Amino acid sequence: MSRHLPFLFLLALVAVARPAAAQNAPAGSGPVGADASALRFYGFGADLYSWDSNSLNRYSYSNQLSMGITPRWSVGRLIAPKSRFGSFTISARFIMNRSFAGYDPSQFHANSDQGPAVPCSDLTPSAQGGKIDPNQVQRCQTGHDQSSYRWDFSDIWLTFSNPRLITIPVLKININPNALMILPSSKQSQYEGLKLGLIGTIGTNRVFLEGKIVLGYSFGVRKNFHDSTRPLADTGYSGPTAENLQIVQGSRQFSPQDLSDNTFTLNGLGGNSQNYQLRHFFSVGGGWKALSYSVLYIITNATQYDISCESTVNGQGHNLCDAGNAVGGYSGSGVTTAGKRDNHIFWVNLGYDVTDWLNLNLSYVNASPMRKADNSLRQPFISTNYDAFTSISVGFNISIDTVAEKLSPLPVPKKVASR
């Protein structure tokens, strides 16, 4: 599962949050036509949030704490409050994660190899009729000491959104466009050589029963720009080799003697980096008084950069793709030059507004590949095996600007005595 999925969860939460709660609403989405004189702090605000996530899996249990901040500027309300651009907002997002339990190698810092927590298994399937008793499999955890876990930083996302830019008359369907820029501040993106990510999204929603039910759908496209089609490393980097190679999930830890060339390919068996991605968000949400809810189903279709088909053997050039297609043609198969990766996410969120600036929430998330190893479809609702796709999280959201308004309220105009 992609390490960027937790960030996708947050994006989805913002997309379907209940408009009645300021801390849950899309960042800076003030009502079109709002009075600019009532805007505080020149339209600047921020949300502070945190959640603790636990996987529902005793074989591969993980526990992770996440926290982040989303500053925003409601520039539309400031300069054009009564136009259709009155909800235009610029926002940013940054998240930090730290694990307290788990086996994912990306959770540990580069120098955390302290040996396995328990002896590793050495099982031979052929000695057991081609099968392995799962009760005999021992789990090994590298860097099991708490000091070995590291804080992991997300990319920085800049979002330009204009909720309810257009409302279709009679149907009352809102059109919500937004554009995002992803700046590669995370170790994962630096490992991939990501220079920039761009996302364009167009969404629609329809409000029923005064916000008690909100149906929505959005479609988005992400395009990545890398310095190479697959992760590369440069021996000219200064500092610890393992740290500079940004060791993350799916890669191995190289030692200095492994660096034979100035530049070499990392994760050679893992395929090329992601070129572009298609996104589909289906949502049902709403709220009543202090309660809010959302149910989402998200599909992502990622396509990797094309692989090179050219090969040279004894000075003679060969096109491996043409050869593979020629052979596969006899059985109706062929060679695909670009890898595909389809994931889906099922997510249920419940929220409760303790005050107008504090929201508590409970989430159930199942994020997994859409297909199994045999290419059959995988159900999206729950995972209880070693894959550990399902988790439950508990969190809170604090509206910083609402707190600031309470600490520095506007002066109450004095009443003029009547004569």
Q: What is the pLDDT of residue 318?
A: 78
Mean pLDDT of all residues in 33-40: 53
Q: What is the pLDDT of residue 85?
A: 93
Rank 50-59, 161-170, 182-191, 384-393 by mean pLDDT and report only the highest: 161-170
Q: What is the pLDDT of residue 33?
A: 34
**Model confidence at 181: pLDDT above 90:** yes
Q: What is the pLDDT of residue 338?
A: 77
Query: What is the pTM assigned to this prediction?
Result: 0.75
Q: What is the pLDDT of residue 403?
A: 93
Rank 76-80, 255-259, 383-387 by mean pLDDT and report only the highest: 76-80
Mean pLDDT of all residues in 154-183: 94
State the pairing for strand pair 274-288/44-55: unpaired
More confident residue, 314 or 78: 78
Rank 148-162, 182-196, 290-304, 315-329 by mean pLDDT and report only the highest: 290-304
Q: What is the pLDDT of residue 122?
A: 65
Q: What is the pLDDT of residue 297?
A: 96
Q: What is the pLDDT of residue 389?
A: 82
Q: What is the pLDDT of residue 38?
A: 65
Mean pLDDT of all residues in 222-232: 85
More confident residue, 43 or 267: 43
Rank 154-168, 270-284, 383-397 by mean pLDDT and report only the highest: 154-168
Q: What is the pLDDT of residue 102?
A: 74
Q: What is the pLDDT of residue 169?
A: 92
**Model confidence at 166: pLDDT above 50:** yes
Lowest-pLDDT range, 92-101, 174-183, 314-323?
314-323
Q: What is the pLDDT of residue 107?
A: 63
Mean pLDDT of all residues in 203-209: 95
**Model confidence at 354: pLDDT above 60:** yes
Q: What is the pLDDT of residue 295?
A: 96
Lowest-pLDDT range, 13-17, 68-72, 103-107, 278-282?
13-17
What domains are there in the chain, each with its CATH number? 5-111+143-230+271-407 (2.40.160.40)
Q: What is the pLDDT of residue 55?
A: 87
Q: What is the pLDDT of residue 23?
A: 26
**Model confidence at 35: pLDDT above 60:** no
**Model confidence at 68: pLDDT above 90:** yes
Rank 95-104, 114-123, 132-141 by mean pLDDT and report only the highest: 95-104
Q: Could you tell me the pLDDT band of residue 408, with boundaries at 50, 70 and 90?
A: confident
Q: Could you tell me the pLDDT band of residue 388, with boundaries at 50, 70 and 90?
A: low
Q: For residue range 291-331, what is the model confidence (pLDDT) as tens digits?
A: 999 999 999 999 988 877 777 777 787 787 888 888 877 78
Q: What average pLDDT is seen over the chain? A: 76
Rank 115-129, 271-285, 350-364 by mean pLDDT and report only the highest: 350-364
